[in-house]
Chain A
Amino acid sequence: MNAIEIRNLRRVFKTTIGIIRRKTKEVIAVDDISFSVPQGSLFGLLGPNGAGKTTTVKMLTTLLIPTAGSARVLGYDVVRRADAIRGRIGFIFGGERGLYWRLSGINNLRYFASLYHVDPEVSDKRIPYLLDLVGLEDRGQERVEGYSRGMKQRLHIARTLLHDPEVLFLDEPTMGLDPVGARELRQVIRNLQAEKKTILLTTHYMFEADALCERIAVIDRGRIVAMDTPEGLKHLVSDLSVIEIEVFGLPEDTLAKLRQLPFIDTINVEDHDQRQLLLAHSPSGSEAVPELLAAMDGVRVGKVVVREPTLEDAYVRLVGES
């Protein structure tokens, strides 16, 4: 059985511009997407900022009404049977908002436990367990306003697990966490996966999606551009090698010249302070390096690495193409 089922889902936002001559502008956030997530599996939604990931999650968590199409969670329609869904799902939206800053962490959890109808005897045991799970066992009595961004994010995780939900929507859950905290959270997600919870995860971090997700949908400008297992997505770029060249000051005209080379599929530049990292996808692999360097005549070059493509490379290709 599918825990989440989406059919031709669409969401349009209307905004008005101007004061005297007001014009209504329509923005298509989610454009005719369909997918399903089997019960007990972990599904990833990958995409750049503004791709429609959060909008999709908000529709599934009953917080937004779709413009068209249908979405069902645990067999219930998210619009007509929102009340039947709410007690059985949990969600996290990245960021610090959504907590009562003047209250302690424990009081925040107690409040939400009662709103989720968790029995007091159960919540009395579960709250210390969850605080321990997210590493806040010593800080639970303190007011949330004194928490760091990462601590607030961890408190959100504890909040979402209070009522032991069957389906979890994790919208960029590791955003704002330090590397150790993010690693611990990934372990928490793995444990939830082992408990056969259904999880929908959105993330910017490719390695996170690669390590956790059983299936991934890549979403860009509201549309799903690819959907497969991480291995399947990587296979999309298996014919290519990635050439990484460290450069120091790359003129625009040189970059344009490199893009015209026949053996180059895609080329991207990442800025790292004083240097840039040129990422070229090519079917020729290491054989392309001499010609590539020759085309960069006059540019100071550092390290050159040729490697196998990763999920990130597949993502860059998909999002770049769409």
Chain B
Amino acid sequence: MRTWRVMKYLRAIQSAALMTFRQNVFDMFIIFGVLIQPLIIATLALWMIGDRVGETIVFIVVGSGMTGLWTNLLFESGNSITQERWTGTLEMLAATPTPMPVIVFGKNLANVSQSLGSMFVCYSFVSWVFGYQVTIEHPLLFIVSLGMTVIAFVCFGLIIAPIFLLNPSVQRWQNALEYPVYILCGFLFPIALLPGWTTPFSYILPPYWAARALHDASSGGTNTSEIVFSIAMLVVCSLISLIISRTLFRIMLRKVRQDATLGLQ
């Protein structure tokens, strides 16, 4: 019975992901966030660092790619339920036997997976256009980190989506949430450069552990146990996100059914 249910949900996740991919192909906002913006950031970083690029090149590639991941998560996964409400499809989804978090998980999976294109684009850009040699010191750990980053981002998106729906005032700050996370999570420079009081904020954000795992696995600057620790923290963050999102979704679905805002236009 349980296996049958898991199979049904996996198929629903696959369908939601495929549907989101198909829709995103035509979305210029996503194309900009995933392909163009990371290149602008990478170019700026390369010019700012100038001749001192050297070993920091991997940092720039991974960091710029991470900006695409975060931007896409914040805007696309954050809005995933709100957009459905505007198009009138939220009522249709809420009335299906598939739980809403399962559907949103599939949508987030598509959004985050396609954002990996940012990483690839940045890598190709600095290699071919600027002629820098980019090598990954721990390829296996890098792949594991990348996979776990996707999962952690998808799970984190499950918290953002119901918060944005429950509190439209938070959503108005969406743009303002983009850059602080770039800085707090050390996408482009180590958080050691920031004041000490900001460190706890970095530690509670899954993108920080993702950036740390990817930076360390690619540059090889630390021992493998630190990379494994960052990956473990991504697992912990994912589990915490899942637990919180479960409660948030329950509150959200109850509230929208009470306030009659499922089909709000």
Contacts and interface: CB of A to CB of B under 8 A. Distances in A.
Interface of A: 13, 58, 61-65, 83, 86-87, 89, 91, 93, 95, 97-103, 107, 110-112, 114-117, 120, 159
A223 B219 CA distance: 71
Interface of B: 8, 11-12, 14-16, 18-19, 22-23, 26, 87-89, 91-98, 103, 254, 257-258, 260, 262-263, 265
Which of A63, A91, A116, A120 is packed against the most chain B CB atoms within 10 Å?
A: A63
Contact of B23 (A83, A93, A102, A112): A102
| The 8 A-B residue pairs with the shortest CB-CB distance in the complex, in nearest-first order | A97-B88, A87-B97, A114-B15, A115-B96, A98-B88, A115-B98, A86-B97, A65-B257
30 contacts: A62-B94, A62-B257, A64-B260, A65-B254, A86-B96, A93-B263, A95-B88, A97-B263, A98-B92, A102-B22, A102-B23, A102-B26, A103-B19, A103-B23, A107-B22, A110-B15, A111-B16, A111-B19, A114-B12, A114-B15, A115-B12, A115-B15, A115-B16, A115-B97, A115-B103, A116-B98, A117-B11, A117-B97, A120-B11, A159-B92
A177 B41 CA distance: 52
Given A97-B87, A100-B19, A100-B87, A115 B260 contact: no
Chain B binding site: helix, strand, loop or mixed by DSSP? helix
Which of A62, A65, A87, A111 is packed against the most chain B CB atoms within 10 Å?
A: A111
Given A100-B87, A112-B96, A114-B14, 9 more contacts: A58-B260, A62-B94, A62-B95, A63-B263, A64-B262, A65-B258, A100-B89, A101-B87, A114-B98
B97 A93 contact: no
A103 B15 CA distance: 13
A63 B262 contact: yes
Nearest to A83: B97
B91 A98 contact: yes
Contacts of A116: 96-98
B92 A112 contact: yes
B145 to A, nearest CB: 31
Given A86-B96, A100-B23, A63 B89 contact: no
